Amino acid sequence: MEWEDAFEILDSILPGETVLLEYTPSYIPEFVLKAFVEYSKERKVPLLIDDDFDTLHTIATRARFLGVEMDLSGAKVIKTGGKEEEVGNVVARVAFHPDAGVYIRNYEEAGRRVLGDAQYPMLNLVLGIENLFLFMRSSLNSYQLILSIQRFLGNRRRKAFYLVNREALETLSSGVLEELERISTTVIKMNPYPTGARGNVKKSVNPSLTGKKFDIAVRGLGA
């Protein structure tokens, strides 16, 4: 299997954890999404994707150009904002508002409906959250959003993975990346190579995971 080590890392993440997956501009999102879809199918774990501002549509489209095939029909999707056609099984739509308090209320209401009917624990992959921070009105609003993420910590109904563009967050002056690293129970830095991605666990509540490295390799690319 191309990603056996990656699957073992996912197995080791505890329900209720918040995991930060950091990457720099590359095709890492496409490889990560593929791995999560395959993990969900193989382990029979339900997959919930948070799709902020059509990020899922963008990733799925680029994956097709790369020749990376994946079936997203079984993935439940909570969609915030965006105008592109729906990808996956969209079970809730959230209206974006630049006032963090309004947006958080909208999201939490939708999240309660989706998680209330779910098989637990779900694998929750969050895509495009850096876009939410970029659209926030102020540093205070950004911190309100960080606190809302922190409140989900310990929610054993999900294992949460936030895939974030490190360079996009570093352009913000409010220290968002540092705060996300602080509140996350596990931090994994992802680096690209031509046919996949390599992960390095920089921080974990599980001491045996810290320092571990793993590859996500997609069969057939570069052949």
Q: Is 223 exposed, middle or buried (0-12, 13-18, 19+ CB in 10 A)?
A: exposed
**Residue-by-residue DSSP string for 148-202:** HHHHTTT-TTEEEEEEEEHHHHHT-TT-HHHHHHHH-SEEEEEEEETTEEEEEEE
Which two structure tokens, joined as six digits, stand for 145?
A: 């959003």
Strand partners, 126: 50, 162
Arithmetic mean of pLDDT, 117-144: 89
Q: Residue 117 — very low, low, confident or very high, per pLDDT cuts 50/70/90?
A: low
Separation of alpha carbons 129 and 80, rounded Å: 10
Q: Residue 223 — very low, low, confident or very high, per pLDDT cuts 50/70/90?
A: very low
Q: Residue 45 — very low, low, confident or very high, per pLDDT cuts 50/70/90?
A: very high
- Quick check: 187 and 20 in contact, CB under 8 A? yes
Give me the chain's average pLDDT, please.
Answer: 91
Q: CA-CA distances (angstroms) from residue 172 to 83, 129, 139, 159?
A: 25, 13, 9, 27
Residue of 208, 12, 47 whose CA lies nearest to 126: 47
4-217 CATH choice from 3.40.50.300, 3.40.50.11570, 3.40.1280.30, 3.40.50.410: 3.40.50.11570
42 phi, psi to nearest 5 deg: -70, -40
b/e code 150-178 from CB counts within 10 Å (16+ = b):
eebeebebbbbbbbbbbebbeeeebbbbe
pLDDT of the residue at 220: 56
Q: Taking the model in full, what pTM does it have?
A: 0.94
pLDDT of the residue at 86: 83
pLDDT of the residue at 219: 65
pLDDT of the residue at 136: 87
Is 49 a residue whose pLDDT tops 50? yes
Q: 3-class DSSP state for residue 34?
A: helix
pLDDT digit string, tens, across residues 61-115: 999 999 999 999 999 999 999 887 789 999 999 999 989 999 999 999 888 888 7
- Quick check: 205 and 11 in contact, CB under 8 A? no
Residue of 86, 85, 94 whose CA lies nearest to 113: 94
As a whole-number percent, the residues of the chain with pLDDT over 70 amount to: 95
Between these two residues, 174 and 19, which has the higher pLDDT value? 19
- Quick check: 192 and 26 in contact, CB under 8 A? yes
Which two structure tokens, joined as six digits, stand for 149?
A: 């993420």
List the domain boundaries for the chain: 4-217
